[in-house]
Amino acid sequence: MSAARIEFCSSIDQLEAREWNALTGAAQPFARHEFLAALEHAACVGPGTGWQPRYLALRDAEGLAGAAAAYLKTHSYGEFVFDFGWAQAYERLGRRYYPKLTVATPFTPATGPRLLVRPGLDRSAIAAQLLDALEHDTVAHGVSGVHALFLDEPARAACAAQGWLLRRDCQFHWSNRGYASFEDYLESFTAEKRKKARRERRRVAESGVRFETRFGGELDAPLLERIYGLHRDTFLRHGHEPYLTPAFFAEIARRMPESLMAKLAILGRSVVAVAVFFWWPEVLYGRYWGAAADFHSLHFEACYHQGIEFCIERGIPRFEPGTQGEHKVSRGFEPKLTWSAHFIADRQFRAAIAQYLEREGAAVESYALEVQEHVPYRGRRSTRARA
């Protein structure tokens, strides 16, 4: 590769969409230029949000050679990798933890590419240059550290080679083992778990709720307004304001119609609940949920069973429904380790955090093994959680 130069950009619009999306890894919905742009254009990130875009671009004579979506953060919300304890430790010693730099897709706890590289280039070498640039920028501007979240395997390996601290967590993912139908899938359950799953689905059907699948291009303005209203009202009932805005949903439906999918729960003529997904041929991602009222088992049906059926119908290998929730296990989701990596500028804090992560990592692996004992499948317990 010819001599390269580093740039930090305050908006994704400063980077050409075609070049960004041509980078290896950018086919994943949340890594695409359109998704990141929608967050900016809808004011989900930017001034006043605590997420200030600071995109990293590595250029050579042929254009964009590598990139990373990064944000200068003044808080730790919307990340789903929790470091509030680290911030408190800094404060107790009179030190400043914020701002910090976060390499991630905002509000999106889904494993994916974080260090994007142009096809044909030495992926390891470009990743190392990107990480070097992040470290140097952090030190130069007095930022406490860099936190790269929900790393795919190439990014995890690059961060490990760079000496960043690795952190484990546990989610629950579903794997498609070539099932011909949902009933074929249930046949892999133990008799007791199979009976419970069928009863759960039957309750929803007997309530009169039916489902329709709509893709982004089929979501008109009134339907998008209804979807967002259900999503927001559900957040508010739990005491939280949603991170996303109506403008975000509208732009995503317009610019990424092939990646956005909604499962509408309809009672009579009314949409009473919705589960919003993103997908591509490799993975289905469960992202946003909303309901007008508390319907028995409807959340499980809309967010999990409907998603599994979609994967079976389309031959999608994996389903990531989001963070947390041991209740997913009885519905066929298994523990899966997720990874983040952390560059801590202060050496003393780096050493203390390294010791903490060693203890935490052992506990996470032990937890994943324990949960695996409760999966509903015949003959698939006592299997180590996959990294």
Q: What token pair was written down for 386?
A: 């996959």
What SS3 state is found at 124? helix
Report whether 295 contacts 266 (CB < 8 A).
Answer: no
The residue whose two tokens read 């983040």 is 340
pTM score: 0.95
Examine domains 5-170+336-372 and 177-316 and report if their fold is the same. Answer: yes
Helix (H) or strand (E) holding 263: strand 260-267
The burial class, CB within 10 Å (0-12 / 13-18 / 19+), for 166 is middle
Whether the CA torsion 214, 219, 225, 228 is positive or negative: it is positive
Q: Identify the pLDDT of residue 172.
A: 97
CA–CA distance, 166 with 183 (Å, rounded to integer): 40
C-alpha dist (Å) from residue 350 to 76, 106, 146, 165, 342: 18, 24, 12, 8, 9
List the chain residues with pLDDT less than 50: 383
What SS3 state is found at 23? coil
Q: What token pair was written down for 238?
A: 């739990």
Q: What token pair was written down for 202?
A: 């039957």
CA–CA distance, 260 with 288 (Å, rounded to integer): 11
CA geometry: angle 57, 50, 259, nearest 5 deg: 60
Report whether 337 contacts 387 (CB < 8 A).
Answer: yes
Cβ neighbours, 10 Å, residue 179: 18
Pick the CATH number of 177-316 from 3.40.630.30, 3.40.190.10, 3.90.226.10, 3.40.50.620: 3.40.630.30
Does domain 5-170+336-372 fall under CATH 3.40.630.30? My reply is yes
CA–CA distance, 89 with 386 (Å, rounded to integer): 32
CA–CA distance, 246 with 229 (Å, rounded to integer): 9
CA–CA distance, 58 with 251 (Å, rounded to integer): 28
Separation of CA 356 from chain center: 24
Q: What token pair was written down for 268?
A: 């009579």
Q: Identify the pLDDT of residue 2.
A: 56
Cβ neighbours, 10 Å, residue 8: 16
* Interstrand relation of 145-148 and 51-53 (parallel, antiparallel or unpaired): unpaired
What SS3 state is found at 261? strand
Sequence ranges of the domains in the chain: 5-170+336-372, 177-316
According to DSSP, the residues that pair with 71 across neighbouring strands are 53, 102
Q: Identify the pLDDT of residue 379.
A: 80
CA–CA distance, 23 with 62 (Å, rounded to integer): 13
Classify each residue of 281-320 as buried b or exposed e, where b means 16 or more C-beta atoms within 10 Å of its C-beta.
eebbbbbbbbbbeebebbbbbbbbbbbbbbbbeeebeebb
Report whether 135 contacts 326 (CB < 8 A).
Answer: no
